Chains A and B, each alone.
Chain A
Amino acid sequence: MNLLKISIKYIQQKWLGTSLNVLLLGLGLGLIVITLLVFKQIEQNFYRNTQNIDMVIGAEGSPLQLVLSSIYHIDVPTGNISLSEAEKITQNKLFVKKAIPISLGDNFRGFRIVGTTLAYPENYQAKLQAGVWWQKEMEAVLGAEVAKAENLKIGDTFFGGHGTQNDNNEDLLHKDKPYKVVGIMQKTNTVLDRLVLTSLESVWHIHEHQDHEHHHEEGENHDHNHDHEEDDKEITALLITFGSPMAAINLPRQVDALDNMQSAVPMAEVARMLTILGIGADALKALGYVLLAVAMLGVFIGIYNALQERRYDLALMRFLGASKAQLFGLIILEGFLITFLGTAFGLSVGHFGLELLAQSFTQNLYFELKGLLWVQEELWLIAFVFLLSVIISTILALQVYKIDVIKTLQ
């Protein structure tokens, strides 16, 4: 016989009331955990994808759109810029440590095809799980999720579709220019997993041809040879890693002086966007805390009611010689057991619930959402809930001392 046994027997016998309390506490907790996990991961993903990229140079337009399109591959690109013009800026090796060109325009079943240099995957420490990196035109390396989703292997070929979004239009496929899969990357947990990488030349090659067609259709008289000149090669954006802190001040000024070009700082844009989203996150978190407060109130009422019902048992135990410490311990223990069950239930609901949700719509997200992930804030949350439980139990335990044994037993 011990206090734990008495408590457990009590909870077992009164399982219906106990489970309602556990349910109430668990749901409130679960909702908070989901909110925490989702926003933590959105934040992490946005920052992980900006690694080493201090600035983006691209065509004029919204700077947020430029960052979203060239780093996260979410929005449509702002347009193209001249490679030779952009390189004039990046020639200053004191300011520019790395400049990675990317050229967008096509997709493969919704996955964007990115014309770039090997410096791009290198920036994300991407490694190959099969094959080799591209060497010639029309050779492609697939992100891990692309290969898995489309079930492609080394040596397979596919057609790119025009545009950065998949619109399922057969006419927009570049059927005369198939890509050949030469490599598949390992999972990086970055945006790379959902991209098809190829050389800049491949993208240029396809679109030169496309330009010809368009011009013919439009019946315009155009100097075709001009397109093939190296000087006029176009890219969508240039991803810059600064060589010195001074670059943060000097480069944007230089870029803005040029026609049709702008610079955007990813960290600043992401921070701006998260601030906007943050309002939503805070509101959701607040809702979670309100739910938790309701849940704790439920637990309070639950324990309080149980105690009213237990006045008799507690009086009986005092009659049998129980010390105040024993009675106090018993109430604290019962509150603790309910809180423990509620917390375990809530964490399971939060983590497994999010994992299930994430699995059911991972295809529609621009990054992978995980449920089975631990964030530090949860520790604070759990500590908070247990503290609350001890406080509630203490308030109730103090009432036990006022019980009149004889009156309660008669």
Chain B
Amino acid sequence: MLKIRNLSHFYQEKQVFSISNWEIHKGENWLILGKSGSGKSTLLHILAGLLSPTQGQIFFQDTEFTQLKGEKLDLFRAQNIGFVFQKSHLVQTLSVLDNLLLVPFLAKEKSNKEKAENLLSKLNVLHKKKDLPKNLSQGEQQRISIARALMLSPKLILADEPTASLDDENAQEVIALFKQVSQELNATLLIATHDQRIKNQFSNIFQM
């Protein structure tokens, strides 16, 4: 479902990375491993359409993703890709539930309060739905970002260092959650990390 051809990216005339050929099939779980500065975040941003690659092509199912621009790209990402940042980027003036409901509104999809509550419940944070993000712990905020990424049942889930700021127990739990929800959605999961703790949980590893 995701084909990468001759993809390379330069930052200030220095090559960040280069990938000649990489094919990812539907429903697969991948771990992108690499040291800091190896370009794994950059790759993830390019896969999410947040950044244009210097060269190369990405096909998302039948769509040549690298050809999309501006609003079309923003909308395509919103409707097909769930992205979880290392930090939980939430709108601070909106409640947890409203942060989730913002997703279908901005992606021009139908509002679905029931789904938002189901996701919060699955991630054990339903009791926080009326709270503002600033009143939540870091772990809770991370769960809200995961719930938000899943609001529109994405075909591709991308996560950038989702466990970096979590302790061992929470890290294992979050990875388990990612695997569980991607399986339920039959979605493809890509996690970029330098966190060796979670290495064993993935059979597909892409080393950068």
Contacts and interface: CB of A to CB of B under 8 A. Distances in A.
Contacts of A5: 98
B61 to A, nearest CB: 18
A334 to B, nearest CB: 11
Interface residues of A, number: 24
A405 interface: yes
A379 interface: no
Contacts of A406: 45, 50-51
Contacts of B83: 319
Given A9-B93, A9-B94, A406-B50, A317 B102 contact: yes
Contacts of A405: 50
A12 to B, nearest CB: 8
* Residue from A316, A321, A323 having most chain B Cβ neighbours under 10 A: A321
B13 interface: no
Nearest to B45: A406
Contacts of B85: 409
Q: How large is the interface on B (under 10, 10 to 19, 20 to 34, 35 or more residues)?
A: 20 to 34
B79 A321 contact: yes
Contact of A1 (B74, B79, B101, B132): B101
B91 interface: yes
A218 to B, nearest CB: 87
B197 interface: no
A125 interface: no
A6 B94 CA distance: 7
Contacts of A374: none
A376 interface: no
A409 B86 CA distance: 11
A313 B102 CA distance: 12
B111 interface: yes
B78 interface: yes
A321 B98 contact: no
A313 B133 CA distance: 13
B106 interface: yes
A326 B106 CA distance: 8
Nearest to A9: B93
Interface string B59-88: 000000000000100110111000101000
A316 B74 CA distance: 11
B91 A322 contact: no
A318 B74 contact: yes
A9 B98 contact: yes
A14 interface: yes
Interface in B7-45: 45
A366 interface: no
A1 B102 contact: yes
A323 B107 CA distance: 8
Nearest to A314: B91
A77 B85 CA distance: 86
B111 A1 contact: yes
Interface in B137-171: none
Contacts of A317: 91, 102, 106
A321 B107 contact: yes
A13 interface: yes
Contacts of A313: 91-93
A322 B73 CA distance: 11
B103 A320 contact: yes
Contacts of B94: 6, 9
B202 interface: no
B92 to A, nearest CB: 7
Nearest to A5: B98
A320 B78 contact: yes
Contacts of B71: 323-324
B89 interface: yes
A2 interface: yes
Contact of A323 (B74, B79, B101): B74
Given A405-B50, A406-B45, A320 B93 contact: no
Nearest to A322: B106
A326 B78 CA distance: 14
B105 interface: yes
Nearest to A409: B89
Given A1-B111, A2-B105, A9-B98, A323 B75 contact: yes
A322 B92 CA distance: 17
Contacts of A321: 74-75, 77-79, 103, 106-108
A135 B45 CA distance: 99
B93 A10 contact: yes
A256 B149 CA distance: 94
A323 B74 CA distance: 8
Interface in A306-335: 312-313, 316-324, 326
Chain B CB within 10 Å, residue with most, of A316, A320, A406 = A320
A67 to B, nearest CB: 62
Contacts of B51: 406
25 contacts: A1-B102, A1-B104, A1-B105, A1-B111, A2-B105, A6-B94, A9-B98, A13-B132, A313-B92, A316-B89, A316-B90, A316-B91, A318-B74, A319-B89, A320-B78, A320-B107, A321-B74, A321-B103, A321-B107, A321-B108, A322-B106, A323-B74, A323-B108, A405-B50, A406-B51
Interface of A: 1-2, 5-6, 9-10, 12-14, 312-313, 316-324, 326, 405-406, 409
Given A317-B91, A323-B71, 7 more contacts: A13-B92, A13-B93, A319-B89, A320-B107, A321-B108, A326-B106, A406-B45
Closest 5 CB pairs of A and B: A321-B78, A13-B93, A1-B105, A321-B107, A322-B106
